[in-house]
Every structure is written in structure tokens, then in C-alpha cells.
Structure 1
Amino acid sequence: MKPDPRLNPPLAPATLHILLALAAEDLHGYGIIQEISRQSHGHYKLGPGTLYDNLKRLMDQKLVIDAPKPSLPVDETRRLYRITAQGRTVLSAEIDRLHNVVREARLTLNEKRPRRA
């Protein structure tokens, strides 16, 4: 059964990039910003305000949670974030949706269309 697009609307670019950054490992805010820059080859830059607004919303939606902190020095106060199973499901559905968009775009671009007179 195909997912209902009304239940999983397209993700905003910031949301997509944040979930994708967290898919491999737990990260703190600055680590998320760095990973997004790395994954996008510097083409997508996320500022702290946008990042933390989106993280709050993702946490409210239970797509991201606080990750348990490893044993760190006492002065280490960074908060770590982790994608949830539900977050992975949403990310996977978005990747499938984007794959279909790209496939359709390639088919459309490769079609031979008659020239207009």
C-alpha cells in the first residue's frame, strides 16, 4: 500500500537536511550544521535560528529526540540529537517521493517532443 501523501506532505528543505544529517549518527547543533554543509557540498547552509526552530518542531513531532550523552567532561554542555524510528520512516518516505520526482523529470526531459511551427 502506497503512503498517503496527505499524511506525509513533502518535507521542507531544512527538515529534510536535518533528518538526513541525523540518519548516520547522533549530533549536536553545530555538528548538524557541518554535516548538512558536507552532504550538500556547501550548497545548503542552515543558520542556528532555522536549525533550532526546526529541531524543536521535529522533537514536538517525535521525529527527533535528545540522545543520551556519552561520558563527557563536566564542562561539556552540548545537547545531542537523535532521529527516531518514526523520523527514519518519514525520511525514507521523502526519499522515495524525491526519487519518483527525479525519475519523472528525467523521463520528461528525455521525451522527444515535436517542434512547434
Structure 2
Amino acid sequence: MRKVTYKGGPMTEAMYYVLLALLQPNHGYQLMQAIADVSRGRLQMGPGTLYGVLSRMQKDGLISLAEEDGRRKTYQITAAGEQALRAEYNRLQSLLRDGSLLEGSDGNE
């Protein structure tokens, strides 16, 4: 069993969307498409960024290899990864709630 080294804290946008996209196991190209879909086209992740993030997240125990078929590697989220994703989602929800102070403000106060 791989030791989990992720210390928590705010995730990068790339990490967050990779974990969201890995709620269903995916390989590289599928994963780039899934990230674009999950972000509604807002985030287009290239292979260099993707594979750097995947490597780091695998070392941190947030994702694991589900299957390796030649050069194609299929990744999946781990239980620790899902827990970290939910914690980040809750953190982001808190930020939005706190930001509700801006509602009704014209920005000139």
C-alpha cells in the first residue's frame, strides 16, 4: 500500500479538475477531454501539465493506476483522493458563502 503524502490544503485548479474527471477511471487523452467537459470548456489541459499533475497526485496517494496496457495508463481516484476532493469542494463552498457579502454591493463602498 502506497503511503499518502498529500498534506491537504488548497488544491490547484488542475488538481481539482483532474480529481473530478477521475471519478470515472480515464487514460490521458480521455482525461483531457473529461476535464474540458467537467469545466464546461473553461479549462483546456495540455499533456505536459496533465502528466505533471498525474505524477504528483500519484506520489501523494490521491490517484492510482487502474490499468496499464502498453503505453496507455488508466488512472482512478483513490479513497484518499475522494476525501481530499470533498474537502476542497467544501472549502470552495465556504469561500462562495463568505463572498456573498459582495451581493448587492456596487463595488464602490
Which range, TM-score by smaller chain?
0.7 to 0.9
Partner of 2:95: 101
SS of residue matched to 1:45: coil
Residues 24-60 of structure 1 deviation map (CA, whole Å, 9 limit, x = unaligned): x100011111011011111111110000001000000
Bigger share in strand: 2
Q: Distance in 2 between matches of 1:51 and 1:58?
A: 10
2:52 is matched with 53
Select the structure of larger CA radius of gyration.
1
1:83 to 77, 93, 105: 77
Structure 1 stretches (4+) deviating beyond 6 angstroms?
A: none
* Residue 77 to residue 10, structure 1, CA distance change in 2 (3 Å): same
Q: CA RMSD in A?
A: 2.0
TM-score normalised over the length of structure 1: 0.79
Residue 41 of structure 1: aligned partner: 40
Q: Secondary structure at the match of 2:67?
A: coil
TM-score, with structure 2 as normaliser: 0.84
Identity %: 35
Per-residue deviation at 1:78? 1.6
Local SS of the residue matching 1:81: strand
